[in-house]
Amino acid sequence: MTETLSKFQKIPDREPPSSTVGMLAWVRINLFGTTTNTITTLLFLYVIYLFLPPFLDWAIFNANISGSDRSVCDENKSGACWTFVKVRFEQLLFGLYFATNPDQIWRPITALFTFGIILTPLLFEKTPFKKWLLLILLTAYPVFFIFIVYGGAFGIPVSDTGQWGGFLLTFALAFVGIVLALPLGILLALGRRSQMPVIRALSVTYIEFWRGTPLITILFMASVMLPLFFPSGVDFDKVVRAMIGITLFQSAYTAEAVRGGLQAIDKGQTEASMALGLGYWKRTIFIILPQALKISIPAIVNTFIALFKDTSLVSIIGLLDLLKMSQSASRSLEWNGYDIEGYLFAGFVFWACCYGMSSYSQKLERKLDTEGRTE
């Protein structure tokens, strides 16, 4: 072992041949790699060329935004009429009451703004006291929302729910749906995994019943039959009826999302907490649920996206949500004929909300996925 060792000599790294890296190589590999690839690229480029420039011309370059009535748009038919959206903006977002009472418009703005303020820190991982913020959002905020938007106290004039509309109504319906459906859904999910056969059967029946029926039937039922279910004298207005229908419907989907989380929790957790002598409710509330809920957040967000889109169905039972408001505004005498713009605006708002939520839930899912793997 006295032999001298030669020193390891590293061959210096070289740059790869220029034909394999950089922009040009990327284009060659990803767009013109093979004959089929080239044909696909050319075909799609042609399709883009056919549709994109005319659309951009219509939607942006030739679009009308100035003025306050349809005369501008009527003169220039080659572009979209965003003037319509601009003029009716308050109505589309907040409904008729607030559009006709501009001095009250601070109320929905404050309500939505507050929502944003509470929600934003929740989206970041490192925010402290997240649980408390979430609790505020789910309990105190709805009270605040009703107080400020509905009014009726402290000299704030009442805005009747019948006059609610636009994005505000869409938001209210979806938010009520998730807030009320969450506790109900958790109970149902626990019921479905309960040891007691009667409880389990009832939960399964309930969940599968609502999941098997389209929401529109449920909304019909809520608007036509709900008043019949109760002794005369008990009556709700239309918005509340829709909210009840949506909540019952949503709770079944939330239950399934939570159940997924419960199933993923290790059996060992239950056994360990039983060994500690914790009773059913104690171990469920303090050990099982916090973990299960954390896992099921992406699934819950996904059901919420579906619900958010589904709130548009209330337009069929005569509520003026964002969709119906856009439709009816663009069919009004003043703006008749500009309904593409109306639909596109409503579609864009819905899309932005849903896309945001789904990106967030996908991010969360990936994070949970990698966490699960490293454990």
Partner 1 sequence: MTSASASKKSTKNQISPIITINKLNKWFGKFHVLKDIDLEVNKTEKIVICGPSGSGKSTLIRCINRLEVHQEGTIIVDGTELTDDVKQINEIRSDVGMVFQHFNLFPHLTVLENCTLAPIWVRKKSKLEADELAMELLTKVRIPDQAKKYPGQLSGGQQQRVAIARALCMQPRVMLFDEPTSALDPEMIKEVLETMIELAESGMTMIVVTHEMGFANKVADRVIFMDEGQIVEQNDPKNFFNNPKSDRTKLFLSQILNH
Partner 2 sequence: MVQIFVLSIVVFGIFSIYETTVFNLQERGIKTSSNFFDEVAPFKVGFSPFLNFELGKTTYIEVFYIGILNTLLVALLGIFAATMLGFVIGILRLSPNWIASKISLIYIEIFRNVPLLLQIMFWNFAVFLAFLPPPKKSIEMGLFYLNSRGLHSPLPFIEDSNNFKIWILILALAALAGFIFSKWSKKKFELTGAALPVKTINILSFLAIAVFSYFFLRGPLGFDLPVLGKFNFKGGGQIPLPLFSLWFALTIYTSAFIAENVRAGIASVSKGQLEASRSLGLKRSQMINMIIIPQAMRVIIPPTISQFLNLTKNSSLAVAVGYEEIVAVWAGISLNQTGQALIIIAMTIIVYECMSLFTSFILNVYNRRIQITER
Supply the DSSP symbol for 149. I
103 binds partner 1 (CB under 8 A): no
Nearer to partner 1, 26 or 230 (CB): 26
Residue 149 burial class via C-beta count within 10 angstroms: exposed 0-12, middle 13-18, buried 19 and up? buried
Question: Least distance in Å: CB of 207 to partner 2?
Answer: 11
Q: Residues binding partner 1: what is the number (CB under 8 A)? A: 14
**Cβ(238)–Cβ(162) under 8 Å?**
yes
Rule CB under 8 A: which of 9-28 touch partner 1?
Answer: 10-11, 13-17, 20-21
Q: Which does 198 bind (CB under 5 to 8 A by kind): partner 1, partner 2, none?
A: partner 2
Among 144, 299, 164, 347, smallest CA distance to 243 is for 164
Q: Is 8 in the site for partner 1 (CB under 8 A)?
A: yes
- Given partner 1, partner 2, none, residue 229, with its beta carbon under 5 to 8 Å by kind, binds partner 2
By beta-carbon proximity to partner 2, the closer residue of 110 and 327 is: 327
- Report the C-alpha gap between 287 and 283 in whole angstroms: 5
3-state SS class at 134: helix
The CB-side HSE value for 233 (13 A sphere, CA atoms) comes to 1
Cα–Cα dist 72/12, whole Å: 68
CB contact at 8 A, 251 and 210: yes
**228 contact, one of partner 2, partner 1, none, CB 5-8 Å limit per kind:** partner 2
State in angstroms the smallest separation of the CB of 197 from partner 2: 8
Tokens of 80: 């979209």
**CB 70 → partner 2: shortest distance, Å?**
16
* Contact flag: residue 50 with partner 1 (CB under 8 A): no
- Indicate which of partner 1, partner 2, none lies near residue 101 (CB less than 5 to 8 Å, by partner kind): none
Contact residues toward partner 1 (CB under 8 A) are 3, 5-8, 10-11, 13-17, 20-21
